Amino acid sequence: MDWKRRARLGALLTVLPIIPAALWWSRSHRTLDDPPGIRLEVSLSARELNVIEHGTIVRTYSIAVGRRSHPTPTGTFRTGQIVWNPSWRPPPVDWARDLDYQPPGAPANPMQGVKIYFQSPDYFIHGTNDPESIGEAASHGCIRMTTRDAVHLARRIELAGGSVPLSIGR
């Protein structure tokens, strides 16, 4: 009988360390239905940007999108470089021909707080010096947010590793 008790105790001591490891593994390995991390989804018609974590919308931001003459690109992207307190240099296009360089934080700088690349070199998610444009088709293709919302989103992207999937649809 003593050997049976020892065998049970040995089996129990062998299995006990496996249980926490199995729990850790099951929580750290997601299924295809439960994508890891965060992703962003933009609805151009609703003028909203949703932050989705593990399949659940955790935050919705109101945004401004590209006007008809300068539409925001649609498709699947990844966020790229995040530039804090960016300056603004007019792009070499007709609409910006008579505009001047704007240093970081300048009231006339159309990119306030942060810019998050999603299609280099011309398209960003960024804060704006024109918060009244939020909810409108008002930009030259970028996604505008209030400065506070853009900074909050950029911090969230940094915490998620610095680059997240972005889907932009009509």
- Given 3-state DSSP classes, what are the helix, strand and coil percentages for the chain, each rounded to the nearest 5? 25, 30, 40
**140 a catalytic residue:** no
For residue 78, give the H/E element and its range: strand 75-78
In the beta sheet, which residues pair with residue 8?
A: none
In degrees and rounded to multiples of 5, residue 65 shows phi and psi of -125, 175
Determine which one of 70, 140, 142, 152 is catalytic: 142
For residue 52, give the H/E element and its range: strand 48-53
**126 a catalytic residue:** yes
Whole-angstrom distance, CA of residue 63 vs CA of residue 127 = 10
Count of residues in the chain: 170
Cα 53 to Cα 88, 97, 115, 126, distances in angstroms:
32, 41, 22, 21
- Please check whether residue 38 is in contact with residue 160, taking contact to mean a CB–CB distance below 8 angstroms: yes
Quick one: tokens of 153? Answer: 């989103």
Determine which one of 29, 54, 70, 126 is catalytic: 126
Return the active site residues. 126, 142
